[in-house]
C-alpha cells in the first residue's frame, strides 16, 4: 500500500471550501435574480429621522394700551343688521276722532289755547235782551287758575242774563260765542300776576289786587273771584255778580259812580272792591226795573 504524498491535505481542504463558497454564491445570485424577476427590489432599512431640537419658549406679547382706532377684523363687532323694507313696520296712525253728538259743544282743542295759557270756553248762549244792538262776548279762562272753564262761563252767563243786569234797559242784547265766531269783547279769568300784567299793558295799575277793563277786554282777578274783599258783608256770589257787571259796564261805556248815601245800595259802578263807604253791597245796575246809579266821579 502506498503512502500519501505530503502537502496534499491542505490542498484538498482548500479545494473543498472553495467549491462550497462558489456554490453558496451561486445560490445567492439565483435568489437575487428571482426577486428581480418578480419586480420587488430587496428592501433596504430606512434610517429614522433625527429628533427635533428643543425650541426655546417665546416671551408673551407685550400689552398694548387701548386706542380709539378700529379693532382688528377678528375682534371687531359684526355690522348692525339693517332690516329689509319688507320687515319695517308701517308708521302708526292716530285713531279717528270720535264724533261730537249734535247740540253738544266741542271740547277745547290745542288750537284754541292761546300762547299765554287761556282756554276759549266752547259753546254759545241764547241772545239775552229784547232790543237794541247785539254785543257778543267770549269767555277765556287761564289754565293756571285751576278753575273749571265751563263753570266760570256759566257764572258769567247767569249774571248777564239776569233781568237786573244791563239788558234790562231794553236797548242792549248780549250773547256768548266761541271758536271762530266774531266777538266784541272777551271776559278773562286770570291769576293775580297775569291780570296785573294784562292791565298794566293797557296803562292801568292794579297792584295785582283788583280786576280791570281795557278796550275789548274784561279781566277778572282770580283772588277776588275766590275770596271777594274784606268787610264786603255779602255772600261771595253777590261779589262775583258785582265784579262781572262792574267791568262789563265799563266795556259798555259806563263810568265810576259814588255812594248815594249811608245805608243805601251801592251803585254797581261804585268801586266796591275798595270799600262800600257807608253803602251796602249791591251787584245789579237795575233795581225794581229802574236804572240805579250814583253821582259820576270825575
Q: Strands, DSSP E only, in the chain?
A: 118-120, 134-142, 173-176, 185-190, 212-214, 217-221, 286-287, 290-291
Which residues make Cβ contacts (< 8 Å) with residue 105, sequence separation at least 6? 122, 123, 124, 178
DSSP 234: S
pLDDT for position 201:
96
Pairing of strands 134-142, 118-120: antiparallel
DSSP 257: B
**pLDDT tens digits, residue range 129-170?**
999 999 999 999 999 999 999 999 999 999 999 999 999 999
| Mean of all residue pLDDT scores within the chain | 75
- Counted residue by residue, the chain has a size of 298
In 3D space, the residue among 126, 122, 103 whose CA is nearest the CA of residue 181 turns out to be 122
pLDDT for position 98:
39
Q: Give the predicted TM-score (pTM) of the model.
A: 0.63
pLDDT for position 22:
33
pLDDT for position 124:
96
Torsion of CA 166, 188, 196, 110, to 10 degrees: -170
| Domain 110-291 coded CATH 3.40.50 | no
Task: Give the residues across from 187 on adjacent strands.
Answer: 139, 218
Q: All 3 cell numbers of residue 23?
A: 456554490
Neighbouring C-beta atoms of residue 46, cutoff 10 Å: 6
Q: Where are the domains of the chain?
A: 110-291
pLDDT for position 204:
97
Q: All 3 cell numbers of residue 168?
A: 234790562
pLDDT of the chain, 298 residues: tens digit per residue: 443 334 333 333 333 334 333 333 333 333 333 333 344 444 444 444 444 444 444 444 444 333 333 333 344 444 444 444 444 444 444 334 334 334 434 444 433 445 469 999 999 999 999 999 999 999 999 999 999 999 999 999 999 999 999 999 999 999 999 999 999 999 999 999 999 999 999 999 999 999 999 999 999 999 999 999 999 999 999 999 999 999 999 999 999 999 999 999 999 999 999 999 999 999 999 999 999 999 999 8
pLDDT for position 116:
61
pLDDT for position 298:
86
Amino acid at each position: 500500500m502506498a503512502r500519501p504524498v505530503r502537502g496534499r491535505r491542505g490542498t484538498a481542504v482548500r479545494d473543498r471550501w472553495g467549491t462550497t463558497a462558489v456554490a453558496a454564491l451561486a445560490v445567492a445570485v439565483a435568489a437575487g435574480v428571482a426577486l428581480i424577476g418578480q419586480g420587488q427590489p430587496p428592501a433596504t432599512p430606512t434610517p429614522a429621522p433625527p429628533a427635533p431640537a428643543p425650541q426655546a419658549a417665546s416671551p408673551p406679547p407685550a400689552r398694548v394700551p387701548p386706542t380709539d382706532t378700529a379693532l382688528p377684523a377678528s375682534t371687531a363687532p359684526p355690522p348692525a343688521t339693517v332690516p329689509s323694507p319688507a320687515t319695517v313696520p308701517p308708521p302708526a296712525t292716530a285713531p279717528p276722532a270720535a264724533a261730537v253728538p249734535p247740540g253738544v259743544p266741542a271740547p277745547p282743542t290745542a288750537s284754541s289755547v292761546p300762547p299765554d295759557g287761556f282756554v276759549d270756553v266752547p259753546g254759545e248762549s241764547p241772545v239775552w235782551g229784547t232790543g237794541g244792538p247785539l254785543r257778543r262776548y267770549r269767555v277765556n279762562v287761564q289754565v293756571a287758575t285751576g278753575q273749571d272753564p265751563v263753570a266760570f262761563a256759566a257764572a258769567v252767563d247767569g249774571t248777564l242774563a239776569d233781568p237786573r243786569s244791563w239788558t234790562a234797559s231794553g236797548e242792549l242784547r248780549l250773547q256768548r260765542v266761541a271758536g271762530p265766531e266774531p266777538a266784541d269783547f272777551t271776559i278773562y279769568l286770570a291769576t293775580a300776576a297775569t291780570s296785573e300784567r294784562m292791565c298794566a299793558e293797557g296803562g292801568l295799575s292794579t297792584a295785582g289786587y283788583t280786576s280791570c277793563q281795557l278796550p275789548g277786554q274784561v279781566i277778572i282777578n282770580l283772588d277776588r273771584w275766590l275770596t271777594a274783599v274784606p268787610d264786603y258783608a255779602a255772600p261771595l256770589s253777590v261779589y262775583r255778580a258785582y265784579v262781572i257787571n262792574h267791568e262789563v259796564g265799563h266795556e259798555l261805556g259806563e263810568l265810576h259812580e259814588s255812594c248815594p248815601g249811608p245805608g243805601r245800595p251801592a251803585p254797581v259802578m261804585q268801586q266796591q272792591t275798595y270799600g262800600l263807604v257807608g253803602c251796602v253791597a249791591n251787584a245789579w245796575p237795575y233795581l225794581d226795573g229802574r236804572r240805579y246809579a250814583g253821582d259820576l266821579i270825575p
